Amino acid sequence: MIILLAVTEATAIVCGATFGKLSDGIFNGLAFLGNMYPPDWSAFPEMLEPALQSIIIAFLGTVFGTIISVVFALLAANNLANPWVRNITRVFIAIERSIPEIIILILLVAAFGLGAMPGVVALSIGCIGMLGKLLADIIEEIDPLMIEAIESVGGNKIQVIIFGVLPQIMPNLISYALFRFEINIRLSVLLGAVGAGGVGYELEYSFGMLQYHRAFTAVIIIIAMVFGTERLSYFLRKKVKTEGALT
């Protein structure tokens, strides 16, 4: 307990966190929010397209990311790949998981320039760490009888994967992909602010130009977008769960 208090105090000093600053900050923040208050509805129509762009970036990132993750998951499952391939893939997935998406994006923007493309690629690569590990664990737990049955009638490795593995992991795959889509929507806003375009860019731009009323409109759109996709993905996941064969 004492150690915890000491550590807290030390970290607070490093961060420069004091209560005086906090109380000042609260007044400043409230004044600022009051400044933002009437949202600029005239900017609303021109922000719909960036919002759509953000959603599409997240969608494409999820689709391509899921496809890549399935490949990595197949390589990382111990019942399909040989131990060498498996270990190397697992290490790769673990390293990828520890790189934040925003760093991938910064590097990609440096390589390819601004635009939707680095955003989509960054999100796709970001999927590998999470989906790859989850799917690999699921593939390792599938029913081996189905694989044996297909092998015994002469199916090769690809046929085993298509007819034996994929149907078994499909429900889980879809629900994880939907979950990842939710995360990607948030990330696409974040990435947009760094240079992937979309509504995140609008937000950053409005803040930079000190057009706070416009920024407030962007905030409202973002919140609506995140809330909407969260509900949608929750609904779809529930549906997949009741209709799917597994879980």
Partner 1 sequence: MTAIDFTLPSKKFKDKTTVFAVGTVVVALCCIYTNFNPLAFFMEFHNVRDLLGEMLPPNYRTLTDDPSTGYAILQTLCMAFLGSLYGGIIAVIIAFLAASNTMPLKSVRMIARFTLSFLRVIPIVVVILIFVIAVGPSTFAGMLALVIVTIGNFGKLFTEIIENVESPPAEAIYSVGASRMQVIRYSIIPQILPTLIANMLFAFDVNIRSAIALGIFGGGGIGFKLQLAKSVLHYKDVAAIVSLIIIMVILTEKISDYLRRKILGEGKLK
Instruction: Identify which of residues 73 and 120 has a Cβ nearer to partner 1 in the complex.
Output: 120
**Cα-based distances in Å from 88 to 70, 96, 129, 131:** 16, 12, 14, 17
Comparison of 81 and 131: residue with beta carbon closer to partner 1: 131
Which CB sits closer to partner 1, 81 or 182? 182
Minimum Å gap between C-beta 82 and partner 1 is 26
Closest to partner 1 by CB, 81 vs 193, is 193
Q: Rounded to the nearest whole angstrom, what is the least distance from the CB of residue 76 to partner 1 in the complex?
A: 18
What is the closest distance, in whole angstroms, from the C-beta atom of residue 63 to partner 1 in the complex? 6
Of 103, 93, 100, which is closest to residue 128 (Cα–Cα)? 93
Task: Look at residues 176, 182, 178, 190 and name the one whose alpha carbon lies nearest to residue 228.
Answer: 182
Length of the chain: 247
Q: How many CB atoms lie within 10 A of CB 168?
A: 19
Decide: 220 and 39 in contact? Cβ < 8 Å. Answer: yes
C-alpha–C-alpha distance, residues 204 and 198, integer Å: 10
Q: How far is the CB of 2 from partner 1 (least distance, A)?
A: 15
Buried b (16+ CB within 10 A) or exposed e, 108-125: bbeeeeeebbbbbbbbbb
Binding site for partner 1 (CB under 8 A): 7-8, 10-12, 14-17, 21-22, 24-26, 28-29, 32-33, 53, 56-57, 59-60, 63-64, 94-95, 98-100, 102-103, 106-107, 110-112, 115-117, 120-121, 186, 189-190, 193-194, 200, 203-204, 207, 215, 219, 222-223, 226-227, 230
Residue 166 burial class via C-beta count within 10 angstroms: exposed 0-12, middle 13-18, buried 19 and up: middle
175 neighbors 103 (Cβ within 8 angstroms)? no
In the bound complex, what is the minimum distance in angstroms from residue 79's beta carbon to partner 1? 25
Nearest approach, Cβ of residue 223 and partner 1 (Å): 5
d(Cα 177, Cα 124) in Å, to the nearest integer? 11
Our CB check for partner 1 shows the closer of 95 and 148 to be 95
Residue number with CB closer to partner 1 (173 or 189) = 189
